[in-house]
Amino acid sequence: MWRGQNKHMTTKQATIQYGTPIEITTAYGERLRMRALDQPTRGRDFPVVLICTDAEFEKSEHDGTEPDGQYWPLDDLRPLEIV
């Protein structure tokens, strides 16, 4: 559990799982579409989500390989609705 957070998952945390389309915000304010590779997890100081690009996700699904990802702060992303 993170300091200042209650023990129940937030709606954002509960909806993020492998393959969830998300939008991240970069340090420059850019918004980019990515894919979650796991549920949120505890980082060193704050919750994070392992993410990758849509292209990397699709390639790994096609090839049957593990996608290369990086951790991103949970507060700097949001799940996108699947239509």
Residue 19 and residue 35 in contact, taking contact as beta carbons nearer than 8 Å: yes
From the list 18, 24, 7, 4, the residue with the least C-alpha distance to 73 is 24
Residue 27 and residue 35 in contact, taking contact as beta carbons nearer than 8 Å: no
Report pLDDT digits (tens) over 14-57: 689 999 999 999 999 999 999 999 999 999 999 999 999 999 99
Report pLDDT digits (tens) over 65-82: 999 999 999 999 999 976
Identify the residue whose tokens are 């060193």. Answer: 44
- For the question of whether the overall pTM of this predicted structure is more than 0.85, the answer is no
Domains of the chain: 11-77 (2.30.30)
- Reported in sequence order, the residue ranges of 3-80 that DSSP labels E, i.e. its strands, are 21-25, 31-36, 41-42, 47-53, 70-73, 77-79
